[in-house]
Structure 1
């Protein structure tokens, strides 16, 4: 186990030198026994602070941030009424001053000396943090060793981004309590930061010495403004797009050397911060979730990685739950959401059915189409079935020249219609799945060219995709939010109906 770091060590390691300014005032005075009062005095002498929480503000590379940090030497960082009041006051001040908030708990949980009243402090802390997030302000969490109990189950688990110290004990039920109640040790290796990261509960394991540059990178996205406007070329007219047969696009999209989502991010985005999992104990490697800047524009990126969507790693319910986490992030932070679609389809398995795949597709559709933030979807290559549809209904939909969208792979549709896979090319034409058809039917808004095939120009194509995304985001931000939201709902409400100009 790592040694316990102090609140002072945290501030010294993360904040610009000399920038910390305390927000702390004298703790709330409560009725208490003489024994408890003596414990508080002893804790003050041991720790050098007057409560288990230190609050204030400082700067990270010149950017103001609010800070809340537990002090474990003060009664094991436990939270009672006075400590909770200090936490809530700091959260409320950060919200009022529109500051990003960094919270770094290290705590045994609720202060037992104050009983049930202390236990209920979790409620007001959670409420204050939720109000901070509803103000579209970042809430970042760095879990230090150890973090357990009500602290982990309230403000330790509500971060937009949550990372932890290497080797830290992190869990709801303290191992000593478990052993006392059950007469046996808690299983080894469960309540560790590394295990929680692998299970998709937290986003990473970060040594203190790396925390400052990572927080700076995150804040440049979450609290950053767009760079100076870039002049974008208009989307190419449909007449200028090559008339490629649908089956040729299907084959091109399946090329093992075709650039995928990772290539687009590598060559077209900056300030990349990967996040991990659903935050609820699941992770699917086929779904990528990033905070990023695309051509200077801060955004949340959700991307399907088709190279990790085959066989045992097929796109499953956890991937869609991770997608919904990305949608919530974009909504809470008021950032544009970019969705990159490239999938052979969702998993067809007993496990996927029992873990609610159909329900997750439905929830993705419902949440995505009703998000208030700007949204751009990109059909980068294969767009098969509900796994593709779940990430499609955005304000603007782009399609690579050889991208396509279909209810099933053409071979599967051919098997249903003709009882043979041999007419896949015919069914691909009949179903109008290719990029030109998607634009003609109003499913997609513009085509991203390939010259002649993305596999032959991976870097140039990836940069072209990024420019197209940035162009659409910039255009969307010029539309009043309520009008943009109404336009999106109307678009999908009327989709498929005869258009007035066609009557």
Structure 2
């Protein structure tokens, strides 16, 4: 159905586009190698009618996604498109559903998809093929957004909302990568996504902080709040040979991604000591669902005074975002291992925790509520806070005695057998 509408002059436009680009359609789909990784590449050619999707384009992309599944290869999509081809009308528009269905089947097959948004990447292709990828990269300065330059209101023509930089700032892109570094970054990500996982629990990291027990509950709380205590960044650097981060929302206090340890790929979600916002919970949810699809074990590092409690967090749906993470953890078939490395504050910390493997470092604690907040609820005076901290039994030793955790980490990693 090359010309379903019988559009005047369309056949001539196609002929000129083919002559100019040397391609038959707006995409070129082929098998390739990136570094040492075999992949299926879907590459858009913007010079072919603005990289627009017509019925022939949709058929080529669908064939490429079928080949991806048949060969069990990752797919890399290199986007540069203005959207759907108007000369083919609704038959062209419906190709977006065809693409979306093909990607669902790729995900169900447990195969990774990396996309690169180049200039420009707009319209239905961004919404159906790009934004839903497992890893979303973009070239700095690229126009990236649903509304293309010629269809949005003129007053918004140069608004920075439609840029790769804004998409990154909003948490919708994982990395901004210059053209000269794209091959290197794709090779890194392919190695992490397609690396050996061996579906057994992630090894427990070694404790990096103080190993001696705190004298009492209040001492444990004070120690865990020390600025000198090692945070998640130190644990990730110590644990992984290399790692890269993913985003699913905006929260600088949460680090999510995939790392390689001894050639084994492990997904991680780590809190860094701040109150976790809805964006942080959504990043962790995205990470765990991705790991479950790709059969990667998960390591979570818990360190937060709790979920953000400000009006902005409520307006952004803090309760909903926590519920989504609880559900993702509960539904995951891959093993999740949790190490509490700092303050475990109530439900905001528990949402990041494994259901069956929770360990604490000796200098960590976990509590149903902060002692200061408990004092306010119970109407106790400030000088009663230290004693109340002890009553909450937040120390690793207390929690182990209660049967609330599985163990206390030491100076050596711990391996688990599933």
Q: TM-score, normalised by structure 1?
A: 0.77
> How much has 1:378 moved relative to structure 2?
1.2
Name stretches of at least 5 consecutive residues in structure 2 with no aligned partner: none
**Which of these residues, 427, 452, 457, is aligned with residue 388 of structure 2?**
427
> How much has 1:29 moved relative to structure 2?
5.2
Is the contact between residue 139 and residue 159 of structure 1 (CA under 8 Å) also seen in structure 2?
yes
> How much has 1:212 moved relative to structure 2?
1.5
Q: Report Cα offsets for 1:107-149 as digits up to 9, x if no partner.
A: 1110111001100110010111111011111100011111111
User: Paired residues, what number?
Assistant: 411
> How much has 1:86 moved relative to structure 2?
0.3
Which whole-Å CA distance do the structure 1 matches of 2:250 and 2:204 have between them?
Answer: 38
**Which of these residues, 186, 200, 206, is aligned with residue 215 of structure 1?**
186
- 1:321 is matched with 282
- The reply to whether residue 286 of structure 1 matches residue 253 of structure 2 is yes
- 1:206 is matched with 177
Which whole-Å CA distance do the structure 2 matches of 1:345 and 1:224 have between them?
Answer: 34
Is the contact between residue 104 and residue 144 of structure 1 (CA under 8 Å) also seen in structure 2?
yes
SS at match of 1:190: helix
**Which of these residues, 124, 129, 136, is aligned with residue 155 of structure 1?**
129
> How much has 1:59 moved relative to structure 2?
1.0
Is the contact between residue 54 and residue 69 of structure 1 (CA under 8 Å) also seen in structure 2?
yes
More strand by share: 2
- 1:116 is matched with 90
How has the CA–CA distance of structure 1 residues 259 and 213 changed in structure 2, closer, same or farther, with 3 Å as cutoff?
A: same
Name stretches of at least 5 consecutive residues in structure 1 with no aligned partner: 1-27, 450-460, 480-503
SS at match of 2:87: helix
Which whole-Å CA distance do the structure 1 matches of 2:19 and 2:351 have between them?
Answer: 57
Which whole-Å CA distance do the structure 2 matches of 1:171 and 1:242 have between them?
Answer: 52
How has the CA–CA distance of structure 1 residues 235 and 166 changed in structure 2, closer, same or farther, with 3 Å as cutoff?
A: closer
Of stretches 437-446 and 198-207 in structure 1, the one that deviates more from structure 2 is: 437-446
Which whole-Å CA distance do the structure 2 matches of 1:268 and 1:145 have between them?
Answer: 37
- 1:339 is matched with 300
How has the CA–CA distance of structure 1 residues 338 and 354 changed in structure 2, closer, same or farther, with 3 Å as cutoff?
A: same
- The reply to whether residue 271 of structure 1 matches residue 242 of structure 2 is yes
SS at match of 1:46: helix
- 1:365 is matched with 326
Which whole-Å CA distance do the structure 2 matches of 1:31 and 1:185 have between them?
Answer: 33
Which whole-Å CA distance do the structure 2 matches of 1:127 and 1:222 have between them?
Answer: 22
How has the CA–CA distance of structure 1 residues 202 and 235 changed in structure 2, closer, same or farther, with 3 Å as cutoff?
A: closer
How has the CA–CA distance of structure 1 residues 438 and 113 changed in structure 2, closer, same or farther, with 3 Å as cutoff?
A: same
Let me know the Cα RMSD of the aligned residues: 2.4
- 1:189 is matched with 160
- The reply to whether residue 300 of structure 1 matches residue 267 of structure 2 is yes
- The reply to whether residue 375 of structure 1 matches residue 336 of structure 2 is yes
- The reply to whether residue 352 of structure 1 matches residue 323 of structure 2 is no
SS at match of 2:251: coil
> How much has 1:418 moved relative to structure 2?
5.2
Which whole-Å CA distance do the structure 1 matches of 2:18 and 2:206 have between them?
Answer: 65
**Which of these residues, 372, 375, 400, is aligned with residue 411 of structure 1?**
372
SS at match of 1:64: strand
> How much has 1:318 moved relative to structure 2?
1.7
> How much has 1:390 moved relative to structure 2?
1.2
- The reply to whether residue 397 of structure 1 matches residue 364 of structure 2 is no
Is the contact between residue 345 and residue 368 of structure 2 (CA under 8 Å) also seen in structure 1?
yes
Which whole-Å CA distance do the structure 2 matches of 1:90 and 1:396 have between them?
Answer: 40
> How much has 1:394 moved relative to structure 2?
3.1
Which whole-Å CA distance do the structure 1 matches of 2:205 and 2:188 have between them?
Answer: 31
- 2:400 is matched with 439
More helix by share: 1
- 1:16 is matched with none
Is the contact between residue 282 and residue 324 of structure 2 (CA under 8 Å) also seen in structure 1?
no
- 1:45 is matched with 19
* Over 3 Å off, 4+ runs: 28-34, 232-236, 240-244
Q: Report Cα offsets for 1:199-244 as digits up to 9, x if no partner.
A: 11111110121111211211222101159x9xx89999xxx98574
How has the CA–CA distance of structure 1 residues 233 and 52 changed in structure 2, closer, same or farther, with 3 Å as cutoff?
A: closer
Which whole-Å CA distance do the structure 2 matches of 1:196 and 1:50 have between them?
Answer: 32
Which whole-Å CA distance do the structure 1 matches of 2:257 and 2:156 have between them?
Answer: 38
Instruction: Identify the structure with bigger relative contact order (alpha carbons < 8 Å, sequence gap 6+).
Output: 2
SS at match of 2:368: coil
Q: TM-score, normalised by structure 2?
A: 0.92
Is the contact between residue 243 and residue 436 of structure 1 (CA under 8 Å) also seen in structure 2?
no
Which whole-Å CA distance do the structure 1 matches of 2:399 and 2:69 have between them?
Answer: 44
Is the contact between residue 92 and residue 128 of structure 1 (CA under 8 Å) also seen in structure 2?
yes
- The reply to whether residue 67 of structure 1 matches residue 41 of structure 2 is yes
